[in-house]
């Protein structure tokens, strides 16, 4: 299988003995093809993920606020979320193509969907985590419902939101590899390409995959640090 219309990136490079002999991992190939294969794929992957998570977060947050105010809205949204989660990712991408073509839009719609279904329950749970006496005190002091929401409930929801973001970012980076079934972009492309060769090319598979994993772990760590920075009250001894 190849993605329709995708450019063929020269494989096997200049054919060192390691490569032609298909050893386990060839550093020289990696160094040689960083500029034309792995580097761009990584950059594309970051771009795909960043857009998906940003858009997904905005949508999930808005929906969560809605579900928080109208508890009855939470059930239907949760059911839809469960359906999306169990829908095979390769199918979702394909199904969007007739509507939005072989474009970034298709990929992003699919990725945003997955991000949404991960973030939504986490944000809702976070908003509900404020202790009742804190809400009562806020009301009694004369904070409007909106002020209570944004000055009290949302800050207290931050740990759960950051937790959800961590999971969403890592998952999206992994799922974004499937985008290569539609577009020859992202770190999935080298993998799909190399696996379809008569003899699967190990180095390309491993290097692209390891890059994806490393990207995910780095982003996760960054979010942990960000999370600590925005929740100073959780760091002091009780």
Partner 1 sequence: MIYDTANTHTFVQALRFIADNPGLLATKALEQMELSGAAIGLALLVALPLGIVLGHLHRGSGVAIGASLFGRSLPSIFLIAVFLTVLGLGFENNMVALAVLALGPILTNAYLGVEGVDEDAVEAARGMGLSRSGILTRIELPLALPLIYIGIRVAAVTVVATAPIAAYAGGGGLGDIIANQASYRLSGVLGASICVMALSAGVWALLLALQRATTPKGVRVARVQNPAGELGKEGL
Partner 2 sequence: MSTAAEIVFDRVTKRYAGRDGAALHELSLTIPAGTFCVLVGPSGGGKTTALKLVNRLISLDEGDIRIDGRSIRELEPVELRRGIGYVIQNVGLFPHMTVGDNIATVPRLLGWSKTRIQERTAELLDLVGLEQGDAKRYPSQLSGGQRQRVGLARALAVDPPLLLMDEPFGALDPITRARLQDELRRLHHTVAKTVIFVTHDIDEAITMGDRIAILREGGLLAQYDTPDAILAHPADEFVTEFIGEDRALRRLALRRLSELELDPVPNPDRPRVEASGASTVRNAVSLMVESGESRLLVLGDDGTPIGVLSLAHAAELLR
Binding site for partner 2 (CB under 8 A): 131, 133-144, 147, 152, 155-156, 158, 231-233, 236-238
Closest CA to 12 of 206, 203, 187, 211: 203
Distance CA 222, CA 46 (A): 14
Q: Does 72 bind partner 1 (CB under 8 A)?
A: no
Contact status: 122 vs partner 1 (CB under 8 A):
yes
Binding status of residue 170 toward partner 1 by CB under 8 A: yes
Q: Which of 171, 183, 184, 185 binds partner 1 (CB under 8 A)?
A: 171
Question: Binders of partner 1 among 209-238, rule CB under 8 A?
Answer: 209, 212-213, 216-217, 220, 227
184 binds partner 1 (CB under 8 A): no
236 binds, among partner 1, partner 2, none (CB under 5 to 8 A by kind): partner 2
Q: Choose among partner 1, partner 2, none what residue 112 binds, the Cβ cut-off being 5 to 8 Å by kind.
A: none
Binding mask 74-93 for partner 1 (x = CB under 8 A): ----xx-xxxxxxxxxxxx-
CA dihedral angle for residue 149, residue 155, residue 161, residue 163, rounded to 10 degrees:
-150
Helix or strand run (H / E) with residue 80: helix 74-86
- Residue 107 binds partner 1, judged by CB under 8 A: no
CB of 134 to partner 2, least distance (A): 5
Rounded Cα gap, residues 159 and 165, in angstroms: 10
Rounded distance between C-alpha atoms, residue 73 and residue 89, angstroms = 26
Q: Taking the complex as a whole, how short is the minimal distance between the CB of residue 117 and partner 1, in angstroms?
A: 4
Minimum distance from CB of 236 to partner 2 (Å)? 5
Q: Which residues of 129-146 are buried (b: 16+ CB within 10 A; e: fewer)?
A: ebeeeebeebeeeebeee
How many residues interact with partner 1 (rule CB under 8 A)?
Answer: 64
Are the CB atoms for 208 and 25 separated by under 8 Å? no
163 binds partner 1 (CB under 8 A): yes
**Rounded least distance, CB 150 to partner 2, Å:** 12
**Who contacts 205 (Cβ-Cβ below 8 Å, separation ≥6)?**
190, 191, 194, 195
**Cβ neighbours, 10 Å, residue 125:** 15
Interior angle at CA 213, CA 25 and CA 163, nearest 5: 170
Applying CB under 8 A, the residues found at the interface with partner 1 are: 1-4, 78-79, 81-92, 94-95, 97-99, 102, 117-118, 120-122, 125, 159-160, 162-164, 166-167, 170-171, 173-175, 177-178, 180, 187-188, 191-192, 194-196, 200, 202, 205-206, 208-209, 212-213, 216-217, 220, 227
């Amino acid at each position: 299988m190849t993605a329709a219309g995708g450019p063929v990136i020269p494989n096997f490079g200049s054919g060192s003995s390691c490569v032609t002999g298909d050893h386990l991992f060839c550093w020289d190939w990696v160094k040689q093809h960083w500029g034309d294969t792995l580097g761009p794929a990584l950059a594309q992957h970051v771009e795909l993920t960043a857009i998906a998570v940003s858009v997904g977060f905005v949508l999930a947050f808005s929906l969560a606020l809605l579900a928080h105010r109208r508890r009855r809205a939470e059930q239907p949204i949760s059911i839809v979320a469960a359906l999306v989660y169990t829908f095979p990712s390769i199918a979702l991408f394909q199904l969007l193509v007739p509507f939005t073509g072989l474009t970034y839009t298709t990929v992003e719609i699919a990725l945003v969907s997955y991000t949404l279904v991960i973030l939504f329950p986490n944000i809702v749970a976070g908003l509900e985590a404020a202790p009742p006496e804190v809400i009562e005190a806020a009301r009694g002091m004369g904070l409007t419902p909106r002020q209570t929401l944004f000055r009290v409930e949302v800050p207290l929801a931050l740990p759960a939101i950051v937790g959800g973001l961590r999971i969403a970012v890592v998952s999206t980076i992994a799922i974004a590899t499937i985008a290569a079934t539609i577009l020859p972009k992202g770190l999935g492309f080298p993998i799909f390409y190399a696996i379809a060769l008569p003899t699967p090319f190990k180095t390309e598979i491993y290097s692209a995959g390891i890059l994806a994993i490393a990207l995910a772990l780095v982003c996760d760590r960054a979010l942990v640090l960000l999370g600590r920075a925005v929740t100073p009250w959780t760091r002091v001894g009780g």
